[in-house]
Amino acid sequence: MPENRTVTPDLQTPRFKTPPKHLRWLGQESLIKACFGQSALLALLLLALITVFLVKEGTGFFKLHRESLEQYRKSGIEYVDLMRERQNQYLALNRMLTSLRAEWIRQMQEDGLPPAMIELRLARADSRALFKGYRQAGQALHQTILAKAALATATRDRWITEENLRQTLQNTSGRIRDLAGPAGPTTTEDRSAYVLLLRAEAAQPEISPLLSEQLMKRADRIHSGAPLPPDFRKDYIRLLEKECATIQNSLRPDASPRLDPTLAADLEEHAERLAEMDARIRSILAATHLFDPPEHESLQTLWQEFQQANEPFLTGRRAHLEKLRQWNPDDAYSVLAALGNFLAGKQWITASSRQDWFGILPLLSGSLLVAAMALCLAVPVGVGAAIYSEQLASPRERLWIKPSIELVSAIPTVVLGFFGVLVLGQLLQQAAGSAWLRWIPFLPPQTQLNALTAACLLAFMAVPTIFTLTCQAIGNIPREIKEASLAAGATGSQTIFRVILPGAFFGILSAVMLALGRVVGETMIVLLCAGNRIKIPDFTEGLAVLFQPAHTMTGIIAQEMGEVVRGSLHYRALFMVGIVLLLLSLLVNFIALRLDRRMPPGNN
């Protein structure tokens, strides 16, 4: 009788396709590592190259910035700007007085006074003494500042001209040495420069007409592409040496700028003019009784505010003069001072006739404001959609919810920017100007391109990132935890908000940080929709700050990089902004990774 045997399946190790002969020495694991590990290696290499490039182009900024600040001080422009501080305070008071006059006219119109009567009141002696007299009180200060600004600017321009001439002299001398060597080749630039030098020599008054004509004919032949004459090198060196001698004779032995002696010499006379100006303002304020009658009680409050604003201005004259006396053009700027001026500077001014300023605070505050507003809009939408998709939606609903939200990330940001300029900005401005919102003081906004418009589009762009990562964090919560909560008697909402969300908290926070990194690094949307006003947002205005135009770090780089001269101070300042932006992005991603590691081991 045949023996019954149990057939055991032959469990064998699965066999993979044999690799080619020239790759067999690597082994299968090595092949897998080579295929999948190259992405990480490429990312690290790219990050290293970007960092090296930014540091290489941006590190020269502080040296150039320090030289620019020393030029600003030694030329006397800094002294003039100190004088302008007093003038700016006075101009701010003038604007307050102009607003008071406009309010007075408005109230007279509301009282039903005819235009002729209003004009008569404005033309009275007491009215002209206040409005016209206050405006004329600072004319002497204005004229003084204009004259001193012209002196300081002329000193700065002479210094810049001499610096350019010294650089030209150095380059020309180096070219002469190269041409005098045994292997000094000529270039296309040499041909063009030789033509210009020939024409310049032909235009000299001491050159005879016959020689001038010969030089011009030679220049025209070379310019038209004729071969260079045999004596080209010798004649070209002669002309370059002649140009070097001309430049050398025009330079001063001392390379440092010479402060005009009259710039700060009349400080006591300036103090007397300021004292006369303050005395005149005090007399104008004391003699004014325009707003004393009872019918002007509302204007009386504005008038008292104007008088109170004048007190610190009038009492600050001595401190202003002391600051002018302590100013020293020989005080040197350090590299740390240049760094502090960049990191804590409140102005970003380029192509200025007086001084360029590169302070990153307006750009950094604008970037953070827009990013914070975008996250305030995107986080509730993204997290809420993830909770509904993972915990409440049916399988059929998930089939269209997830692809629809994730498809948003495929929309080009420039398309979103055009949508914000042409559609969303107008809709927000019209909605803010509707009848049921007119009671809000700062509505409607002055411009449709502002921080809120950009933030809405950035939030739309950040929602897919938050949604996808939050779905993963919620999906990683073990199903047993949810079932145990429901078995303990908790409702569905209690399970979501007290069990699932706390368990996925660090994953959600990591998603928010990654979305922040993407929002801060976005360029086209903020460049097109944020308004591009380089000014620190006025947070004292409360919610009105949402409707203020702003500029960002990414926007300034995209806007100005194509217009700067390579190697200039402005060029290197933009690279310093790029370094700050890179450090900020790396910090945000580092925090996101640290938060992800703090998740419970079972939920990673």
| Contacts for 447 with CB less than 8 Å, ≥ 6 apart | 429, 531, 549
Same domain, 315 and 388: no
Same domain, 153 and 293: yes
Same domain, 431 and 521: yes
> Of 270, 301, 335, which residue constitutes the final position of a domain?
335
Of 405, 394, 397, 413, nearest in space to 466 by CA: 405
Helices (H) and strands (E) in the chain, counts: 26, 2
Residue 322 within any structural domain of the chain: yes
Angle between helices 232-250 and 188-202 in degrees, nearest 10? 70
So what's the pLDDT on residue 34?
A: 64
Residue 24 within any structural domain of the chain: no
The model's pLDDT over 25-65, given as tens digits with 9 standing for 90+, comes to 555 566 666 666 666 778 788 888 888 888 888 888 999 99
CATH number of the domain that residue 559 is part of: 1.10.3720.10
Residue 131 within any structural domain of the chain: yes
Same domain, 323 and 411: no
DSSP state letter for 8: P
**Rg, C-alpha atoms of the chain:** 36
Using DSSP's 3-state secondary structure scheme, residue 240 falls into: helix
What single letter denotes the amino acid at residue 137?
A
Q: Which two tokens stand for residue 100?
A: 């008071």
Same domain, 264 and 398: no
Same domain, 559 and 459: yes
Identify the burial level of 40 via C-beta atoms within 10 angstroms of its C-beta, where 0-12 means exposed, 13-18 middle and 19 or more buried: exposed
Contact 553, 360 (CB under 8 A): yes
What is 14-61 written as a DSSP string?
--PPPPPGGGGGG-HHHHHHHHHSHHHHHHHHHHHHHHHHHHHHHTTH
| Contacts for 289 with CB less than 8 Å, ≥ 6 apart | 126
Residue 37 within any structural domain of the chain: no
Q: Give the separation between CA 407 and CA 529, rounded to whole angstroms.
A: 22
Half-sphere exposure of 236 (CA within 13 A, CB side): 28
Residue 18 within any structural domain of the chain: no
So what's the pLDDT on residue 87?
A: 94
Q: Which two tokens stand for residue 41?
A: 């290696």
Same domain, 419 and 542: yes
Residue 453 within any structural domain of the chain: yes
Residue 58 within any structural domain of the chain: no
Q: Give the separation between CA 122 and CA 132, rounded to whole angstroms.
A: 11
So what's the pLDDT on residue 294?
A: 60
Cα end-to-end span (Å), the chain: 60
Same domain, 141 and 274: yes
Same domain, 463 and 554: yes
- The sign of the torsion formed by the CA atoms of 193, 194, 199, 205 equals positive
Q: Which residue range forms the structural domain that includes residue 168?
A: 72-185+259-335
Same domain, 371 and 449: yes
Residue 112 within any structural domain of the chain: yes
Place of tokens 């396709």: 17
Same domain, 415 and 504: yes
Question: Cis before residue 444, ω within 30 degrees of 0?
Answer: yes
Contact 423, 535 (CB under 8 A): no
Instruction: Name residues of the chain where pLDDT drops below 50.
Output: 1-2, 7, 11, 601-604
Q: Any idea how long the chain is?
A: 604
Mean pLDDT (the chain) is 85
State the total domains in the chain: 2
What is 396-417 written as a DSSP string?
HHHHHHHHHHHGGGGS-HHHHH
So what's the pLDDT on residue 528?
A: 92
Place of tokens 């409005």: 131
Q: Give the separation between CA 549 and CA 528, rounded to whole angstroms.
A: 11
Same domain, 95 and 143: yes
What is 515-573 written as a DSSP string?
HHHHHHT--HHHHHHSB---S---GGGGGGGGGS-B--HHHHHHHHGGGSPTTSHHHHH
